[in-house]
Structure 1
Amino acid sequence: MRIAFFVNSIEGEASSYTTTALALGAIARGHEICYLTPGDFVLRPDDSLMVRATIPKTSKYKKADAFISALQGDQAQLETIDIKEVDVLFLRNDPSEDADERPWAAQAGTIFGRLAAERGVLTVNDPDGLTRAQNKLYFQGFPEAVRPTTLISKSIEEIRAFIDQQKQGAILKPLQGSGGKNVFKITSSKEANLNQIFEAVSGEGYLIAQGYLPDATAGDVRLFLMNGKPLQRDGAYAAFRRVPAKGEVRSNMSAAGSAAAVEVTPQILAVAEMVRPKLVEDGMFLVGLDIVGDKILEINVFTPGGLPDIAELHGVNLAPDVIAALEQKVAMKRNYAGMLSNRTLATL
């Protein structure tokens, strides 16, 4: 089958990315792969949806660096193909990266992903589900038991009052954003720089204030779910601890966080089970949960990363398992043509 990976940009891809691991996993299993970016769709007058696909030189790449060099090099081919020639469109872009400088690109994946699904292409995660998850407000639709105490507002008065109610302090961050950008820990509403922090974060829109979880000092646990269930093989889970750098409140890998092995406890599995129904309902094939204790800090449904870190820590590469699941979905789609919606098929 042919799998198209939709990303923010070709030049922005890296050997350490989970998308790279998935692409290599697909190639190893004998599939064709290509990459698409927000500017690569063409809807023609005859209603055909074409894509300008970047296709790396066919090879069994032994190292991720070699694959990225081939993808970004002169030997990669740019070919215009009908989207119907693609079996799977894997949406792997981060909308927040384009929100400021290329706002038109932020929703291109979900918009054209919906058109691809209408034309019979298996599209994951489901674009309709992703549309509802464009910002962190999506998180509020999950059970209250797994969410930290949260306020969403643009009012400094509301935020000060909220902070005063939190004995352990609060975390402030923008409603839209990723990678730990503009995330601050506030211990008191009387902090001298609160106004400056508020101005910096509120410039991006609404703010989220969350009660601080003391266990977060040790970092959070990134756990992958596939089809609503923890991704694992023979008891080895796709999970690791994201440890914040010294003096950092953020555990994001992009904020100098580091990866460490972690034991997946019954408590972690119970948290995952509580969010499973909604993820399945929304057609979320592959997601990353960021868990602290019995709470979830974030649910990454666009570009959950960490599979290469897990492979290095545990010696288990679970990327091929994700590709195998897509193979089953494509086979099921062919057997039950027209009987299963994209959203249903995404999490079967």
Structure 2
Amino acid sequence: MKIAFIINDHKTEKPNYTTPGLGYAAYKRDHDVYFIGVGELSYASKGHLSVRCKTIKDINFNSQETYFRAVQKQDFTKVSSEDLDVLLLRNNPADEINKRDWAQNAAYIFGEIAMRNGVIVLNHPTSLASAINKMYFQHFPEIIRPKTIISRDHNEIKEFFKKQKQKMILKPLQGSGGTNVFMMDKKNEHNLSQTIDAICRDGFVIAQEYLEEATNGDTRLFLMNGRPLEFDGKFAMMQRINSSGDIRSNIHAGGKPSSVKMTDQIMKLADIVKPKLVQDGMFLVGIDIVGDKLMEINVFSPGGLNITGQMYDVDFCTPVIQSIEKKVYYKNMYGNYLFNSRLATL
């Protein structure tokens, strides 16, 4: 099959990231693999997606790092949605905030064009466009979410602070990777108004219940087709432990990964989020869990799959590509009878 990955930028994509790992897994299975930066997207006069991309063929590599470094050195070539079977949207819109605002929605807009041209687009672009900020998280059952309000009203946020016994988390509605996340308590209450103001500059404020279990970090679990990603008897999941004095567990924010065992509680949470993810065509996502609560759902470019693979000595990227191969098979059998949103999680 011919499979393309949209990334933020060729210059910022690191060889050890999850997306190069997925690309390398596809390459090893003799598929044609293309990497497309958001800035390389275009719409052709014939009504299809036309892109500049980087690809490589007919060379053996011993690791995803050597593979992707070789890809990055290649000159740009052209490919059209008429040539593609699958397009994976793996760019992170949060990385573009206040840098390239035009790039935040571009992949999903162009992804819909590719979808109309018969390309399988993962995750489903229409659903991704509606999940551009953390409000998407609020559509999941309340029983699995921490108590939360979303507001720009200082008084409302301060009242929530009192109800939470003067301990809560503040973060922006848009963003990821632990950027601008603050823990407010009695010690720094004098900075509450200033912190709210700082977050309000970029939009709405999420005020969230503080969970004591968060001191131990969180658990990142990958879901594929709505179910926990499992291969060779092991689950693609890890415990992310906070750096000393930091409430954020994100790896990019200094969190340290460690192995963790699947529990009935985590399986129950995964089962509760499954119907919504399947309905929305969310093929590959990462959910972050603290205690018995779901803290966040990353539907854009969940990272760390490569780290979990190294931790358990399991190749989690290959079953992802195998699942995509099945979708191409179903697409060839059924043609346009299956909607992209349904095909995405088959």
TM-score normalised by length of structure 1: 0.97
Structure-2 residue corresponding to 1:325? 323
2 CA distance for matches of 1:274 and 1:168?
30
**2:193 maps to 1:195:** yes
Amino acid in the other structure paired with 2:84: V
Find 1:221's aligned residue among 216, 219, 222.
219
1 CA distance for matches of 2:311 and 2:187?
40
2 CA distance for matches of 1:95 and 1:284?
16
Structure-2 residue corresponding to 1:61? 61
SS in 1 for 2:206: strand
2 CA distance for matches of 1:204 and 1:85?
39
Per-residue CA distance 1:181-207 (angstroms, 9 max, x = gap): 100001149711112211221111101
Q: Is the 8 A contact 2:94 2:174 kept in 1?
A: yes
2 CA distance for matches of 1:172 and 1:96?
17
Q: Which moved more, 1:257-266 or 1:77-86?
A: 77-86
Q: Is the 8 A contact 2:25 2:321 kept in 1?
A: yes
Deviation at 1:9, TM superposition (A): 0.2
Aligned in 2, Cα 1:329/1:245: closer, same or farther, shift over 3 Å? same
Query: Within 5 Å, which residues of 2 pair with 1:190-269?
Result: 191-269=189-267
Structure-1 residue corresponding to 2:7? 7
Q: Is the 8 A contact 1:96 1:178 kept in 2?
A: yes
Q: Is the 8 A contact 1:56 1:77 kept in 2?
A: no
Find 2:169's aligned residue among 160, 171, 183.
171
Amino acid in the other structure paired with 1:215: E
2 CA distance for matches of 1:102 and 1:265?
41
SS in 2 for 1:304: coil
Q: Which runs of 5+ in 1 are unaligned?
A: none
Per-residue CA distance 1:216-269 (angstroms, 9 max, x = gap): 110100000000000002320000001110111000111111100001101000
Q: Is the 8 A contact 2:236 2:316 kept in 1?
A: yes
Aligned in 2, Cα 1:340/1:257: closer, same or farther, shift over 3 Å? same
2 CA distance for matches of 1:308 and 1:60?
20
Per-residue CA distance 1:269-308 (angstroms, 9 max, x = gap): 0001001000000000000000011111000000101111
SS in 1 for 2:67: helix
Q: Which runs of 5+ in 2 are unaligned?
A: none
SS in 2 for 1:338: helix
Amino acid in the other structure paired with 2:319: D
Find 1:296's aligned residue among 294, 297, 300.
294
Structure-2 residue corresponding to 1:16? 16
Amino acid in the other structure paired with 1:297: M
2 CA distance for matches of 1:205 and 1:13?
27
Q: Is the 8 A contact 1:90 1:124 kept in 2?
A: yes
Amino acid in the other structure paired with 1:22: L
Amino acid in the other structure paired with 1:7: I
2 CA distance for matches of 1:13 and 1:72?
9
Q: Is the 8 A contact 1:150 1:209 kept in 2?
A: yes
Deviation at 1:51, TM superposition (A): 1.4
Structure-1 residue corresponding to 2:45? 45
Find 2:92's aligned residue among 80, 94, 100.
94
Amino acid in the other structure paired with 1:193: N
Structure-1 residue corresponding to 2:126? 128
Deviation at 1:168, TM superposition (A): 6.9
2 CA distance for matches of 1:216 and 1:334?
46
1 CA distance for matches of 2:60 and 2:92?
28
SS in 2 for 1:65: helix
Structure-1 residue corresponding to 2:30? 30
2 CA distance for matches of 1:39 and 1:190?
42
SS in 2 for 1:112: helix
Deviation at 1:78, TM superposition (A): 1.3
Q: Is the 8 A contact 1:163 1:189 kept in 2?
A: no
Deviation at 1:49, TM superposition (A): 2.4
Number of matched pairs: 346
